[in-house]
Structure 1
């Protein structure tokens, strides 16, 4: 049973990849495929370190691990091509409980936003493909902020865009850096792990760690009653 907080929930801010969309596995597969294409071994364990990181941090991570001679721009360009192919051939799906949760927010008339580390182009394309375009009051992408997660800027920007103070928002995240960003913004966060298990640190920052978004729906119903 999740414990409610004194402050009511007046707005909800979602991460996108791994939380709304079952896309992290596709992104990992695309990284591995791009590495193979260029003749580099890119193990899944290394690729998982990029989960929740903005693109510039991913580039630094790859450069630091593979050296200055690594074809960085070509690698990420090929990764984007592979990911787009995976997505456009029907492999992108919604995570469990997304639509019932959005339907609940519609009934409660709660504003909602997305704060994502993905680019504006990728975000708009993916949301449209799965039929979620138009279901959010605001979308903050990596292109819209100067500092990505784990910096709190994406969450603070999203809260401003929906006109709700951070203490009255609820953040929903799957990644460690996303949970850190929401916590640093002063926003309660429920973590729904995808490819990364919640660590003791993340459990300490989270209001709760749950299996899927159905449990989140039950919490919001209680917190807004």
Structure 2
């Protein structure tokens, strides 16, 4: 995740201990997940049920490492919910570069224009847009700035709000 570190270095100076802070944060989160379980975004399970029932292929495409993703998915009882996963340590360039989403399309044997990305970050919106994939933003920590919001197909508050969008697309 060197691209993220660059943001910190620009803001706080080249001696800012970004890798150490990220490592400590991941360790804190792992301990919290062990104690309290992995929080699941509202609407995720109904959306996954809908996608599975309607034959959609699904891939997690995340900047996190394979080891971290596998642990989190297992802890959240989602290890078998997706057809594929692709992680940050399996690509050369992270978001906002489109590489991770293009590789996800390849893993699913689908062209980008046949896919849909659900994204919560501006860098992810940028990456999906550059890959030629429609994007639905489900904001997490912040609503996307206008330059990114205009690159989305839709913006929804909860994951299960994607279901009516899919139904509408299926009918057209």
The interval holding the TM-score normalised by the smaller chain is over 0.9
Quote how far apart the aligned CAs of 1:91 are: 5.4
Q: Does 1:208 align with 2:166?
A: no
**Equivalent residue in structure 2 for 1:85, among 31, 48, 51:** 31
Quote how far apart the aligned CAs of 1:201 are: 1.1
Quote how far apart the aligned CAs of 1:134 are: 1.1
Q: Does 1:122 align with 2:68?
A: yes
Counterpart Cα distance in 2 of 1:212 and 1:111: 20
Counterpart Cα distance in 2 of 1:211 and 1:71: 34
For residue 224 of structure 1, give the secondary structure of its aligned residue in structure 2.
helix
Larger radius of gyration: 1
- Over 3 Å counting, the alpha-carbon distance change for 1:107 and 1:90 in structure 2 is same
For residue 205 of structure 1, give the secondary structure of its aligned residue in structure 2.
coil
**Equivalent residue in structure 1 for 2:12, among 44, 47, 66:** 66
TM score, norm. by length of structure 1: 0.72
Q: 1:167 maps to what in 2?
A: 113
Quote how far apart the aligned CAs of 1:58 are: 2.1
Quote how far apart the aligned CAs of 1:61 are: 2.3
Counterpart Cα distance in 1 of 2:14 and 2:126: 30
Question: Which string of whole-angstrom CA distances, capped at 9 and with x for unpartnered residues, describes residues 119-151 of structure 1?
Answer: 111111111111110111110110111001110
- Over 3 Å counting, the alpha-carbon distance change for 1:206 and 1:74 in structure 2 is closer
Counterpart Cα distance in 2 of 1:66 and 1:169: 38
Counterpart Cα distance in 2 of 1:142 and 1:182: 15
Q: 2:100 maps to what in 1?
A: 154
CA RMSD for the aligned pairs? 1.5
Q: Which runs of 5+ in 2 are unaligned?
A: none
For residue 193 of structure 1, give the secondary structure of its aligned residue in structure 2.
coil
Q: Which runs of 5+ in 1 are unaligned?
A: 1-54
Relative contact order, higher structure (CA 8 A, sep 6+): 1
Q: Which runs of 4+ in 1 moved over 6 A?
A: none
How many residue pairs end up in the alignment? 171
Question: Which string of whole-angstrom CA distances, capped at 9 and with x for unpartnered residues, describes residues 48-89 of structure 1?
Answer: xxxxxxx21222222333334334443333222212112211
TM score, norm. by length of structure 2: 0.92
Counterpart Cα distance in 2 of 1:134 and 1:185: 26
In 2, are the aligned partners of 1:198 and 1:209 still within 8 Å (CA)?
no
Q: 1:133 maps to what in 2?
A: 79
